[in-house]
Amino acid sequence: MEWINVIVQGILLGGLYALFAAGLSLMFGVMRFINIAHGDFIVVAAYLLLVMVMTLGLPPVVGIGVVVILMSAVGYLGQRILLNRVLDEDILPPVLVTFGLSIIIQNSLLEAFSADSQRVPSGNFATASLTFNDELAIGVLPLAMFLAAVGVIGVLQFIFFRTALGRLLRATSDDPEIIPLMGANNSHVFAIATALASAVVAVAGTMLAMKTNFDPTIGPSRLLFAFEAVIIGGMGNIWGTLAGGIILGVAQTIGAQIDAGYQILAGHLAFLAVLIVRPMGLFAKAKG
């Protein structure tokens, strides 16, 4: 019966991966732009929380709020000032710019914090757990994180489908050229999309900081997990991304159960399997 435990852990892990994926998929959906530094921004959020909690002594919840606001602002400005200038049909300039950003971020973090593994302590939460009969114990923190992830995705879904802003974001992803004819400014819309994605990244990064050990170099592998979750779940579908994250998480925990060294490989293989069988993803929404 320990397999049930494995699967539950996988599902909880999947919530985190779904958050990684949601930010990536948002930016790609609206701007057709893959941010190679996506994983590195998640790590930046983790380090920011570390500073908030360890250096400034803020309680973690307050720290998370500050990080979210900070990164949303940086995301908005960064898009407006830098990324908007390299966006167009060609995907290569954004690839090179975000590659450059990735290298800058990783090395700056190395300079500032050294390569040591870190973790943000979450007090009593860290060890508390709910037990169901003898076999199954679910940590309170991982459960809270999973619920938070589902909540964030629900909020995103709400924004996209029930608000005027979401309408504008969806329209921009369809046909950015005539958005100005609707009286909206593309620069601003793109920057709002990035700010939103940055907020999601901030939540994801702060959760990462409390859940596992992190160091400046784990960014790229987070990007790959995010990407895999998007592809498995299906493009253009926010809830599908949650499903994708969960499937990836479960694949990883099953792999880890077979052999600790197989965890990441198992995830990659699950991704490849979906890619071979259903390249659009398991829950893709066909676009008109």
Partner 1 sequence: MTKLLETQDLTAHYGDFQALFGIDLSVEEGETIAIIGSNGAGKSTFLRAVTGMRPATGQNITYDGQQIAGMTADRIHHLGLAMVPEGRRLFSSLSVEENLKIGAAGKRTGPWNLDEVFKLFPALLERRRHGGTELSGGQQQMVAIGRALMSNPRLLLCDEISLGLAPKIIREIYAAVPLIRERGTSLVVIEQDIAQALRVANRVYCFQEGRVSLTGQPSELSRDAIAKAYFGTEDS
Partner 2 sequence: MKSLSQTALHRQSKVQRLALIGVAIIGFVALASAPLWAGRADLRLLMEALSFLALAQMWNLLAGYTGLISVGQQAYVGLGGYFFFALAMFTAVPVLLAIPLAALAAGLVAIPTAWIAFRLQGAYFAIGTWVIAEVFRLIAAQFPALGGGSGISLPVALVRSIASSRSGIELVMYYMAFFIALASILSVWVLLRSRWGLALTAIRDSEPAAASLGVNIRRVKFMVYVCTAVGTALTGAFIFLQKLRITPEAAFSVTEWSAFVIFIVVIGGLGTIEGPIIGVILFFLLRDLAADLGTWYLIGLGALAIAVMLIDRRGIWGAFKARGFPNLFVTQRTLN
Of the residues 2, 90, 116, 177, which one makes contact with partner 2 according to CB under 8 A:
90
Question: Which residues ranging from 180 to 219 are in contact with partner 1 (CB under 8 A)?
Answer: 180-185
Task: Quickly tell me which residue has 């950003």 as its tokens.
Answer: 101
Q: Retrieve residue 192's tokens.
A: 């709002």
Identity of the residue numbered 14: G
Q: Under the criterion CB under 8 A, does residue 77 sit at the interface with partner 2? A: no
143 in Cβ contact with 9 (< 8 Å): no
Q: Retrieve residue 275's tokens.
A: 């890619």
CB atoms within 10 A of CB 153: 21
Q: Is 76 exposed, middle or buried (0-12, 13-18, 19+ CB in 10 A)?
A: buried
| Angle of the 219-233 helix axis to the 263-277 helix axis, nearest 10 | 30
CB nearer partner 2, residue 205 or residue 216: 216
Q: Under the criterion CB under 8 A, does residue 178 sit at the interface with partner 1? A: yes
CB nearer partner 2, residue 142 or residue 215: 215
Cα–Cα distance for residue pair 31/263, rounded to 1 Å = 32
Q: Under the criterion CB under 8 A, does residue 136 sit at the interface with partner 2? A: no
Q: Under the criterion CB under 8 A, does residue 286 sit at the interface with partner 1? A: no
41 in Cβ contact with 201 (< 8 Å): yes
Size (the chain), residues:
288
Q: Under the criterion CB under 8 A, does residue 121 sit at the interface with partner 2? A: no
Q: Under the criterion CB under 8 A, does residue 223 sit at the interface with partner 2? A: yes
Q: What are phi and psi of 204, to 5 degrees?
A: -60, -45
Q: How far is the CB of 226 from partner 1 (least distance, A)?
A: 22
Q: How far is the CB of 227 from partner 2 (least distance, A)?
A: 5
Q: Under the criterion CB under 8 A, does residue 282 sit at the interface with partner 2? A: no
Q: Under the criterion CB under 8 A, does residue 82 sit at the interface with partner 2? A: yes
246-280: b (≥16 Cβ within 10 Å) or e: bbbbbbbbbbbbeeeeebeebbbebbeebeeeeee
Q: How far is the CB of 23 from partner 2 (least distance, A)?
A: 14
Q: Under the criterion CB under 8 A, does residue 253 sit at the interface with partner 1? A: no
Q: Under the criterion CB under 8 A, does residue 96 sit at the interface with partner 2? A: yes
Q: Report how far apart the first and last C-alpha atoms of the chain are (Å, whole number).
A: 45
Q: Under the criterion CB under 8 A, does residue 100 sit at the interface with partner 2? A: yes
Q: Of these partners, partner 1, partner 2, none, which one is at the site of residue 288 (CB under 5 to 8 Å by kind)?
A: partner 1
Number of residues that bind partner 2 (CB under 8 A): 41
Q: Under the criterion CB under 8 A, does residue 258 sit at the interface with partner 2? A: no
Binding stretches for partner 2 (CB under 8 A): 28, 32-34, 36, 82, 85-86, 90-93, 95-97, 99-104, 107-108, 110-111, 220, 223-224, 227-228, 231, 261, 264-265, 268-269, 271-272, 275-276, 279
